[in-house]
Homo-oligomer: A and B are copies of this chain.
Amino acid sequence: MPERPGGRTARVRASVLRAAGDMLAERGFAALDLGELATRAEVGRTTVYRRWGSVAAVVADLLLEMAAESLPRADTGTLLGDLRANARLVVRTLTDPRQGALFRSMLAAATSDEATAAALRRFYTTRIAEWAPCVTDAVARGEVPADTDPEEVIRAVSAPLYYRLLTGTAELDETAADRAAEAAVVAAKAGVHRRGSGSPE
C-alpha cells in the first residue's frame, strides 16, 4: 500500500529488518523465528505475520533494503581505480563483524532455502549491475576490448574475496582486495572476459 516515507509502515519495516539483521548475524537463519523477531523489533506479531509471513520473506526484504542502501559505483577515471574501490568495499563489508556474519548466514541459508537463494541472487545481480558501468566506461576509454562482458569483470573482482570468506584459506584484507582488482583488470585487458569467450583455442 502507498505510504509516506518515514510513516508508520516504513518505521515498522526498518525496525523489523534491523532486528532480523541482528538476529541473523548473531545466530543464523535456522534460529530465526518470526514471533521472537516481532518481540525484538517491538512490533506486533500479527503485523509481522501478516506483512512478511515467513522468515525467508523477511530475509528477502532485508536483501532488497541492503541493495537499495549500498554505496553507488566509484568513478575514479580508470578501471583499476574503480575496481579497487569495489574490491575494498567488498572486503570492508565482509570483514565488518555484523555485516560479515550476516552475509555468512545468508549464504549458508541460500544453500538449502530456494527463496533465500533467489533473493541473494537478486541482491548480487543488483550490485553487479550497479558496478558494471565502470567496465562500460573503460570500454569507452579504450582500456579494455569492446566486447568485454561488464558483469563478468565485476564478478571476477568479488570472487576471490568470497572464496577467502568461505574457505578461510587466505587473509581477507586490503592486499587481497587490490590483487583481486588488478587480476580482473589484467584479464579484462587481455580479452579473457570477452562475451562468449572461455575456450580460446
Contacts and interface: CB of A to CB of B under 8 A. Distances in A.
Contacts of A112: 28, 104-105, 108
Interface in A167-201: 167-170, 174-179, 182-183, 186-187, 190, 192-193, 197-200
B169 A128 contact: yes
State which size class the interface on A falls in. 35 or more
A195 to B, nearest CB: 11
Given A152-B170, A156-B160, A174-B199, 12 more contacts: A104-B112, A105-B111, A107-B111, A108-B112, A110-B166, A125-B169, A128-B169, A155-B164, A156-B183, A162-B163, A162-B166, A186-B186
A121 interface: yes
B200 A182 contact: yes
Most buried by B among A105, A124, A128, A164: A124
Oligomer copy total: 2
Interface in A115-172: 117, 120-121, 124-125, 128, 151-152, 155-156, 158-160, 162-164, 166-170
A28 B110 CA distance: 12
Interface of A: 28, 30, 104-105, 107-112, 117, 120-121, 124-125, 128, 151-152, 155-156, 158-160, 162-164, 166-170, 174-179, 182-183, 186-187, 190, 192-193, 197-200
Contacts of A182: 187, 192, 198, 200
Most buried by B among A110, A159, A197: A159
Given A169-B155, A186-B192, A111 B120 contact: no
Given A104-B111, A159-B163, A163-B155, A197 B179 contact: yes
